Amino acid sequence: MKVSVFENKEEGSKDLALLLVNKIQEVLLKKSNCVISLATGSSPIILYKELIKILKFKRVSFKNIIIFNLDEFIGVDPNSINSYNYYINNHLLNHINISNENINLLSGNKKNIIEYCNSIETKIKKYGGIDIQILGIGRNGHIGFNEPGSKKNSLTRKVKISRDSISVLSKDFKNANNIPDEAITLGINTILSAKNVYLMAWGLNKAEIIKEALEGSIGVACPASFLQLHNDVEFYLDKNASSKLS
Ligand code: GLP
Structural domain boundaries of the chain?
A: 9-130+142-195
What pLDDT score does 173 carry? 83
- Residue 63: its pLDDT value, please? 84
- State residue 176's pLDDT score: 67
Does the CA dihedral 18-24-30-36 come out positive or negative?
positive
Q: In which residue ranges of the chain is pLDDT below 50?
A: none
Which run of H or E residues covers position 206? none
232 assigned to active site: no
Main-chain dihedrals φ then ψ at residue 146, nearest 5 degrees: -80, 95
Looking at residue 170, what is its pLDDT? Answer: 86
Regarding the beta carbon of 40 and ligand 1, being less than 6 Å apart is answered: yes
Assigned CATH class of 9-130+142-195: alpha beta
Query: Would residue 140 show up in a list of annotated catalytic residues for this protein?
Result: yes
Convert the pLDDT of each residue in 75-99 to its tens digit: 999 999 999 999 999 999 999 989 9
Tell me whether residue 142 is one of the annotated catalytic residues: yes
Would the pTM of this model clear 0.75, i.e. be above it? yes
Q: 43 CB under 6 A from ligand 1?
A: yes
The finding on whether 223 has its CB within 6 A of some atom of ligand 1 is no
